[in-house]
Amino acid sequence: QVQLVESGGGLVQPGGSLRLSCAASGNIFLFYTTGWYRQAPGKQREVLATMPPRGNTNYAEAVKGRFIISRDTTKYTLYLQMNSLKPEDTAVYYCNAYLGNQNYWGQGTQVTVSS
């Protein structure tokens, strides 16, 4: 069983930055593809960025060039650096880990972009 705990959300002004963290219960990065998703009110959950155990990361067009996914394998932590934030980035942000039919989610962290 994989446990994921997000942190780092909050209120930020347009143009500002935030870094989200996702602490995992073990070194899942060896085997699981990990990623960040978000869900805005009234909208479906959407993928933002994914990072396989090996290989290239992938970004959604909406965040490419603004958001950066990274991981620290010594701390079992996944990060999402968010820059140039816009009001439309307001959502609950989730981290995810999947491998085959195993799919795990964190509880989510709220990000609000507003002046």
Q: Is the pLDDT of residue 93 over 90?
A: yes
| Distance of alpha carbon 27 from the chain centroid | 17
Quick one: pLDDT at residue 1? Answer: 87
Q: Is the pLDDT of residue 96 over 90?
A: yes
Quick one: pLDDT at residue 106? Answer: 97
Do the Cβ atoms of 58 and 67 come closer than 8 Å?
A: no
Residue type, 109: T
Token readout for 63 is 């965040």
Quick one: pLDDT at residue 94? Answer: 98
Quick one: pLDDT at residue 63? Answer: 96
Instruction: State the burial class of residue 77 (Cβ atoms within 10 Å of its Cβ: 0-12, 13-18, 19+).
Output: middle
Q: What number is the average pLDDT over the span 75-102?
A: 97
Quick one: pLDDT at residue 29? Answer: 92
- In percent, how much of the chain has pLDDT > 90? 97
**DSSP one-letter string for the chain:** ---EEEE--EEE-TT--EEEEEEESS-GGGT-EEEEEEE-TTS--EEEEEE-SSS--EE-TTTTTTEEEEEETTTTEEEEEE-S--GGG-EEEEEEEEETTEEEE---EEEEE--
Q: Is the pLDDT of residue 55 over 90?
A: no
* Averaged confidence pLDDT in the chain: 96
CA-angle at 66, arms to 63 and 67, nearest 5°: 70
Which tens digits make up the pLDDT trace of 2-52? 999 999 999 999 999 999 999 999 999 999 999 999 999 999 999 999 999
